[in-house]
Structure 1
Amino acid sequence: MAEAAQSVPVVSYARISADTARDGHGVEDQHRVNDETAARLGWTIVHRYTDNDLSAAKASVVRPSFEAMLKALKVGQLPDGQQVRGAIVVADDRLTRRAGDYERFVDALTYDEGRVYADAKGPKNLYSEDVESMGLFGVVISKMEVRKMQRRTRRSHRRRAEQGIPVGGKRPFGWKDDKLTLAPEEAALLAEAARDLIAGRSLHSIQLEWREKGVRTVHGKEWGSRSLKLALWNPRLCGWRKHNGELVRDANGVPVQGKWEPIITPKEWMAIDALFSSRVGPNAKADGTITDYRTPSHLLTGILRCGKPKADGQICNAPLRVSTRPDLSGGYIYQCPSKSMGGCGGTARNGAKVDEYITEAVLAKLEERAAATRKEDADWGGEEELNRLVTKRQKMLQAWQQDLVSDELFFPENHKLETRIKELRAERTRHALQRQRAAIVDGDIRARWNSEKFDMAQKRALIREAMHAVIVLPVGGGGRRAFNPDLLVPKWKEDF
């Protein structure tokens, strides 16, 4: 390595990340130390590279300044033509924490002869294989320390979760800065949105209402559909918590109750969980039913189906669309699309009259169900079996840990228990949703249906729960005929 001459042009590099701060030194402190090192060695810093709040240990993190420095070192000059002959850092672990990055740095710096490198302790000859090896060894040690810190952090999070203690970070919407006490206005919004969602209201509808009211996230941004979904799907709302995607439970499998004030009940959150868990697309559910993402303007859009027979004897079955007809009462009709649009164009019906008839039929069904529900036991019938299996699993685990049960017996049996426990918990969740929905129609459903609070999305959700579709049979004979409700054939769901 060439002797360091006076005024050797070098670059200064500084980095800090939120989770791996070095002795409390920020990037400005690091550059100041680098200035002192340069002055002591007689070098001149011609450019400062800074990567603030970026980890050097994560492969997925790109450090723009680090990459720009490597490029400048390799070509020996900055983009403006200023010559560069070396680099200064506070310490190697501020530069790299991954072996690959350290090797890339050494390759760039030693691409030409006579380059210099130093940290706060003094200059290092990276052209020496021993020095490079020591540097790589330091990177390995640094990586091990990072992994230790990450493991300690994960264990800390798990321990805090099991104790029901909130973790760090920004306060969640609905709670004050202590993450324990409710923020009344935000909590009320979440509670109302959660119950509206259970009642069948769409996320999009709630999101639009919040935007109109000027409701902002804790970061001061407008609510999006994803952020609202995550907020309502968070088990924190009912006092529970997830860790690595699973509810945190005690030894008996019971969800751990957090120390913060809940906004809704566990049964309400389980109903929300059932809603979101059943969706396999933007508006498709696992059971094949459809929920609205954007609420249509008319009650039966997508629910009415054309019943006109085709040449092969099968019905058209195309979903009817809405067309404006100012000359008719109500001002619109439901009509089968043309052949070019996938329908037959042969069926149309007065929209307002169809809505009125189907509404009355559905309300009658809802009242019938509400009356039947009041007579049924509100408790889920599988609780005893679930508790028994959870206890059995715990005992088997203890026996296996004490070497009283062999691996050959434990793992297959434990897998069977886990599978059945998951099935029962899923059944319990679905039951909770059904009970919550049943509670909505309990009482004077007609008054609620006609109230402003009961919006289009909620009405359509209840209609879809009650029926698969409504087949609209053709009038026949040509010409305008009187409205005939017998030509509307509801396809009710058997388990409704």
Structure 2
Amino acid sequence: MPGMRHDPADPELACIYCRMSEDREGGGLGIDRQREDCEELAAQLGLTVVRVYADNDLSAYSGKPRPDYEQMLEDLRAGAYGTVLAWHTDRLHRRPVELEEYIDVCEPRRIETRTVKAGHLDLTTATGRMIARQLGVQARYEVERMIERQRRAREQKVQRGEWSGGPRPYGWEEDGVTPVPEEITVIRESTEAILAGASVRSVAADLNLRGLRTSTGALWEGSNLGQMLRRPRNAGILQHRGQEAGPSEWDAAVDEPTWRSLCAVLDDPSRMPTASNVRKHLGSGIYLCGPCGGTLKANSKGAQKKKGLAPGTVRKEYKCREKGCVTRDLDKLDKWVQSYIIKRLSRPDAADLLAQREDPVDTREAQRDLRESRAMLDELAKALGAGEMDMQEWRVATAAARARREKAEATLRTAVQVNPVAGLVGAEDVAAAWGALDLSRKRAVLDWMMTVTVYPARPGRQPDGTYWDADAVKIKWR
């Protein structure tokens, strides 16, 4: 309760508290130096150090929990120590609210605070508490000034097209500028694979199988791979405060049209994995129903005795999604379609499949519009900042430039479509190359190459002696 007095703890029993906001050297070397200085101070004062508390790489300004600091407060409340040793008061607190809590714990228990750099804080007197608060205000001021300087330095770097710092970005060295060739290759190959129809998860799984890891040495997952590939820096674009901020000084891993096309693919809601849209079969949602024109879906049901299958066997089939017009054996239909794909890709004229079916987008014009609209917006922002126009004038003037920029970005998002058969055409063993593809890539090839329309099959044995009615499956090359 407020105002309640407690028995004072033994002042000769001490604890040490150490903290580093950012461990740039790694290994807690800054923590070790603080501890050594505090142990030397304890020896000078004739104190017995019972325990050392340390929070490494944690800021006292951010307000995030500091586990060892909170444990120290609990132990102080329990009367475990009569003295707290720290390198400086700013190692203990940088926020007034934390200082007040510390005073509430120490003052009634007559706990002393001694520091290597700021001397003795006597929190049992009004003068001592005033000094502690003044030191706290000074510490907060220094942090806020440091943040202002860092923010201004980052803004200046952005204006010069330089990297503003942070953890090593995948694809580049610690300086954020020098490329790592092997990682740049991963960025390009992953981008091309996804544009060709591969899923992010399958690409991540392939990278892990190849022994390739993230910049921190972690395994790839669909989430962290997608996040890495979405970075504007991959296209040589600076990002500041979550916004694109102009061209960078480092070379791009992929060109801007390719990157924007990739982002459009990754952000497509239909690609978001949910229980209802994850495709597990080759033709689900792609094969068409002949009678009604709808799509077929995969379906499973127990085997019937007249089919001659063992009891409990599950029969997989494709079935018309809309009206149930058509039902065909799933495995047989997939095998039939895949044989056509392999035969087509094995023909001498397979290279013709790499030709574009549509005129390419004029990316040069779109990129020019993007550069000019960005330059116009920058000029208008400077005019607003200089007081040469008011806010209403700025809104009107920037409307056209923003519309031009958005149109150019939309054009670039659809500029690049990687042909999904690339990598199959010219393969020595097309069947083996096809078999090595993941399901998402196979579906992309199927959808790109042909339209498969399925009609009701004729019952009974067919003219070729089998029970598979090949004439009920119509394949039209695109």
Equivalences for 1:303-322 in 2 at 5 Å? Answer: 303-304=286-287, 319-321=297-299
2:268 corresponds in structure 1 to: 278
Please tell me whether the aligned partners of residues 176 and 182 of structure 1 are also in contact (alpha carbons under 8 angstroms).
yes
Q: Which residue of 2 aligns with 1:150?
A: 147
Any idea what SS the aligned residue of 2:19 has? strand
Deviation at 1:57? Answer: 0.8
Counterpart of 1:136 in structure 2 is: 133
2:370–2:405 CA contact under 8 A, matched in 1: no
Q: Give the match for residue 390 of structure 2.
A: 406
Partner SS, residue 13 of structure 2: strand
Alpha-carbon displacement from aligned partner over 1:425-451 (angstroms, at most 9, x marks no partner): 431232323xx33x5569996979946
Which residue matches 2:238?
Answer: 241
Instruction: Give the one of 362, 384, 406 matched to 1:423.
Output: 406
- Find the aligned partners of 1:105 and 1:283 in 2 and give their Cα distance: 49
CA contact (8 A) 2:298 2:330 kept: no
Give me the whole-angstrom Cα distance separating, in 1, the residues matched to 2:474 and 2:254. Answer: 41
Aligned alpha-carbon RMSD (Å): 4.7
1:71 correspondence with 2:64 = no
Residue 476 of structure 1, CA deviation? 8.5
| Residue 253 of structure 1: aligned partner | none
Question: Is contact 2:20–2:31 with CA below 8 Å preserved after alignment?
Answer: yes
Which residue of the partner structure matches residue 18 of structure 2? 14
Counterpart CA distance in 1 for 2:386 and 2:90 is 44
CA contact (8 A) 2:264 2:414 kept: no
Equivalent position amino acid for 1:335 in 2: Y
Partner of 2:469: 483
Name 2:248's counterpart in structure 1: 257
Any idea what SS the aligned residue of 1:320 has?
A: strand
Change (3 A) 1:359 1:283: farther
Cα deviation for residue 178 of structure 1 reads 5.3
Alignment partner of 1:117 is 2:101: no
Residue identity in the other structure for 1:460:
R
- The code of the aligned residue for 1:303 comes to I
Paired with 1:443 and 1:205, the residues of 2 have a C-alpha distance of 16
| Residues 172, 179 of structure 1: 8 Å contact kept | yes
SS in 2 for 1:102: helix
The answer for unaligned runs of 5 or more in structure 1 is: 78-83, 250-255, 310-314
Q: 2:188 aligns with which of 169, 188, 191?
A: 191
Q: 1:372 to 1:318 in 2, by over 3 A?
A: closer
Give me the whole-angstrom Cα distance separating, in 1, the residues matched to 2:126 and 2:474.
Answer: 86
**What per-residue deviation string (whole Å, max 9, x for no partner) do you get for residues 85-129 of structure 1?**
2322222111111111111111111243x3322223543321223
Q: Superposed, which structure 2 residues align to 1:390-405 within 5 Å?
A: 390=374, 392-405=376-389
TM-score normalised by L of structure 1 = 0.72
Report the CA distance between 1:412 and its aligned residue.
4.5
User: Relative to structure 1, is the Cα distance of residues 218 and 28 closer, same or farther in structure 2, using a 3 angstrom cutoff?
Assistant: same
Report matched runs for 1:190-209 at 5 Å.
Answer: 190-209=187-206
Verify the 8 A CA contact 1:70 1:109 in the aligned structure 2: no
In structure 2, distance between residues paired with 1:324 and 1:380: 57
Q: What secondary structure, in the 3-state scheme, does the structure 2 residue paired with 1:432 have?
A: coil
3-state secondary structure, aligned to 1:133: helix
1:458-480 CA distances to partner (integer Å, 9 max, x unpaired)? 2313555789x977555588999
Q: Distance in 1 between matches of 2:330 and 2:282?
A: 13
Q: Secondary structure at the match of 1:26?
A: helix
TM-score (normalizing by structure 2): 0.75
Q: Does 1:267 align with 2:264?
A: no
Structure 1 residues 31 and 239 mapped into 2: Cα distance closer, same or farther (>3 Å)? Answer: same
Work out the CA distance in 2 between the residues paired with 1:38 and 1:199.
Answer: 66
Q: Which residue of 2 aligns with 1:55?
A: 59
AA aligned opposite 1:210:
L
Say which of 95, 99, 104 aligns to 1:102: 99
Give aligned pairs, total. Answer: 449
Q: Distance in 2 between matches of 1:488 and 1:37?
A: 88
> 1:461 — aligned with what?
444
Once the two structures are TM-superposed, the CA of residue 139 in structure 1 deviates from its matched residue by 1.7
Range moving further from structure 2, 148-157 or 315-324:
315-324
Residue of 20, 45, 52 corresponding to 2:49: 45
Cα offset, 1:151, TM superposition: 2.6
- Does the CA-based 8 Å contact 2:284-2:298 persist in structure 1? yes
The answer on 1:222 being equivalent to 2:223 is no
After superposition, the Cα gap between the structure-2 partners of 1:457 and 1:20, relative to the gap in structure 1 and judged at 3 Å, is closer
- Counterpart amino acid of residue 248 in structure 2: Q
Maintained 8 Å contact 1:306/1:473:
yes
Deviation per residue, 1:185-204 (Å, 9 max, x gap): 33333322222122111222
Letter in 2 for 1:56: A
SS of aligned partner of 1:241: strand
- CA distance in structure 2 between the partners assigned to 1:449 and 1:388 by the alignment: 49
Equivalent residue letter for 2:411: R
Partners of 2:163 and 2:372 lie apart in 1 by 31
Identity percentage over the alignment? 23
